[in-house]
Amino acid sequence: MINRYITLFLAAFLTLASCSNDEAVLEAPLRICLQLPMNLENATLEQADVTLVNIETTAHYSVGDFKHEGNGYVATAVVPEGRYNVTASGNISYSIGSTVTATNVKAEALGVEVTNAGSASSVVTLLFNNYNAEAGMVIEEVFFTSSTFSGTQRPYTDDQYLILTNNSDHLIYADSLAIVESKFQSDMQWELTPDLMKDAVTVSWLYLIPGNGTSVPVEAGESLIIALNAKNHTLINPNSIDLSGAQFEFYDVSPNTEFFDEDNPDAANLIKWYSDLWSYTMLGNKGTKSYGIVRMHCDYDSFVENNYYKYNYLVNAAWGTYESTGDGYFIPNSWVIDWVNLAIMNEWAWNVASPMLDSGWTYCAETSSDKSRYGLSVIRKRDESGRLVDTNNSTNDFLPRQKPSLSN
């Protein structure tokens, strides 16, 4: 990648040099204003790199020294007149509640005209976007409803799974990707104080894919199966699914016989960082909880130290309203790689994540007591090219009430 840029840069330099003899190149100043995302509190720019690429000549120019001015950051570049594509990337720190967190940001402006005409210099304003999803890893399927026993039609809850797929055209390492469940439910809307929803999601559990950085390569188009319990469930329940091929499983070690969990040595265990329940972990089988994958930007110790979130909320009980307190851990939206909101079709009250992450929702259950939900899954659509559709709108991106892809 870097080599390619150097080549391009050299090529551009040579072109410029070769032209310089023919005509005089007029230079003009371009004032670049970087604006931080308006939804962030106490945001400060830690570092920024802006690259200008001349559309005609493909010449590259870098600008790095920005000064705080008003509510933005400003620098002026003097470049040959022409049309430029301006891309900016940077790193900002900001507060979520009382915690300071950091995120990578980027922004771009295409076809910016730089001329010397008139007295005023050209100006480009770039608004940084803190949603910084790595294009690539997506949640392809969530089988959260689990199956039922053939015959009695009673629930069998051990066979839930998620499929994560590399939707890019390059290799991605899934090491240290976290799988999280939302703390809040889509069928119960709460007024939260403080409300971090625009900046962060609140989770009820968080598990990490183990690895040293390159242990879990996922080739373009390949998937990872994350099972609640990696074993061939059809041996127990013919209605169920063979998950013995899962790469990872949720394993909750507990001395308590009531919370017994099987640990298949053939599937690596996810690393547990947090759960708000001492019991074994399950996905909410009605679909009121939502799920996401997250790139953690910190280690465990700073996570438990800094990402603790205590909130108040109003409960509207049948006999009145009272304020209650809850707690959990928050994950900045910018860390979230993919998110899927789930709901019960007739019980949807709100989305538990910012519309930046997912502006829609998908479902299996139509009503809260819908027993037909069992054995159904939500699966991401594919476009004509076979690529998974990812518009950050699960209503559009997912097919509800599908036969699980792993069932036979």
Q: What is the C-alpha R_g of the chain?
A: 25
CB of 9 to another protein, least distance (A): 48
d(CA 374, CA 353): 25
289-308 binders of another protein (CB under 8 A): 300, 304-305, 308
Which of 312, 367, 391, 396 lies at the binding interface for another protein (CB under 8 A)? 312
d(CA 187, CA 90): 38
Which of 19, 278, 299, 372 lies at the binding interface for another protein (CB under 8 A)? 278
Which of 47, 129, 153, 215 lies at the binding interface for another protein (CB under 8 A)? 153
358-377 binders of another protein (CB under 8 A): none
For residue 284, give the nearest of 145, 395, 188, 142 by alpha carbon. 145
CA 77 to chain centre: 34
For position 149 contacting another protein by CB under 8 A, the verdict is yes
Residue 86 near residue 61, CB atoms below 8 Å: no
CB of 408 to another protein, least distance (A): 18
- Give the x/- contact pattern for another protein in 327-356, rule: CB under 8 A: x-----------------------------
Output 117 or 317, the one with its CB closest to another protein: 317
Residue 289 near residue 283, CB atoms below 8 Å: yes
CB of 148 to another protein, least distance (A): 9
Stretch that binds another protein, among 16-24, 166-174, 182-190, 317-325 (CB under 8 A): 317-325
Which of 35, 104, 157, 395 lies at the binding interface for another protein (CB under 8 A)? 157
239-258 binders of another protein (CB under 8 A): 244, 252-258
What is the DSSP track for 41-90?
EEEEEEEEEEEEEETTT--EEEE---EEETTEEEEEEEEESEEEEEEEEE
Output 3 or 257, the one with its CB closest to another protein: 257
* Residue 194 preceded by cis peptide, ω within 30: yes
